[in-house]
């Protein structure tokens, strides 16, 4: 089904240099928020709920939606370029399998390296994969938002509830420097 699977634990012996995180603004009022979804079931719907909450409760001015068509590959350069050019912050997700969690963390770090604060959302079940990718990318301890697993079978109401529960941590991730990681 997938042409390749990302195994962050089987990476090269040398690790990448640490990614400096993007500077954060103290709040999201007037911000252009990017939503980078993958093709996992309910990823777009979950992020749409987050985007609506960020506009309604935190004054985000605009939501820019993008979707990558692979759960295993990094965000394509053209989509990364669009998000960097059009967004002040980006929410990435949803990592709810090993490969897509690792890929989501890599995407978040690519955005951070390009100067755009990112909040990556992964389910708790794939913490090991997400943490391994952060370490492989040279940024062990990279903070991402963990939500309960799974996301795919949730109803629209459950997705709204899950988004509302995750929102405070998403906002904090986008507006607060991560302790122990250079910003």
The CATH number covering residue 34 comes to 3.40.50.10350
Instruction: Say if 18 falls within a structural domain.
Output: no
Give percent of the chain above pLDDT 90: 83
Instruction: Say if 79 falls within a structural domain.
Output: yes
Instruction: Say if 14 falls within a structural domain.
Output: no
H or E segment and range at residue 124? none
Please state, in angstroms and as integers, the Cα–Cα distance from residue 49 to each residue in 27, 56, 98, 135, following that order.
19, 11, 23, 30
Instruction: Say if 11 falls within a structural domain.
Output: no
Angle, vertex CA 130, rays to CA 2 and CA 76, nearest 5 = 50
What confidence tier does 154 reach under pLDDT thresholds 50, 70, 90?
A: very high
Q: What is the pLDDT of residues 71-129, one digit of tens each?
A: 999 999 999 999 999 999 999 999 999 899 999 999 999 999 999 999 999 999 999 99
Instruction: Say if 163 falls within a structural domain.
Output: yes
Supply the range of the domain harboring residue 151: 28-173
**Number of domains present in the structure of the chain:** 1
Q: Is the pTM of this model over 0.85?
A: yes
Instruction: Say if 55 falls within a structural domain.
Output: yes
């Amino acid at each position: 089904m997938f042409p390749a699977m990302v195994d962050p634990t089987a990476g090269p012996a040398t690790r990448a240099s640490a990614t400096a995180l993007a500077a954060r603004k103290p709040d999201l009022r007037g911000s252009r928020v990017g939503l980078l979804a993958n093709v996992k079931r309910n990823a777009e719907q979950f992020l749409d709920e987050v985007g609506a909450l960020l506009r309604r409760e935190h004054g985000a001015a605009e939501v820019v939606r993008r979707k990558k068509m692979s759960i295993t590959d990094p965000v394509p350069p053209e989509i990364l370029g669009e998000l960097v050019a059009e967004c002040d912050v980006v929410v990435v997700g949803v990592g709810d399998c090993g490969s897509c969690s690792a890929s989501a963390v890599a995407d978040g770090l690519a955005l951070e390296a390009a100067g755009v604060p990112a909040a990556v959302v992964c389910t708790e079940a794939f913490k090991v994969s997400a943490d391994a990718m952060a370490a492989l990318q040279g940024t062990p301890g990279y903070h991402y938002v963990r939500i309960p697993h799974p996301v795919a079978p949730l109803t629209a109401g459950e997705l709204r509830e899950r988004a509302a529960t995750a929102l405070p941590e998403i906002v904090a991730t986008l507006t607060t420097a991560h302790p122990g990681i250079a910003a």
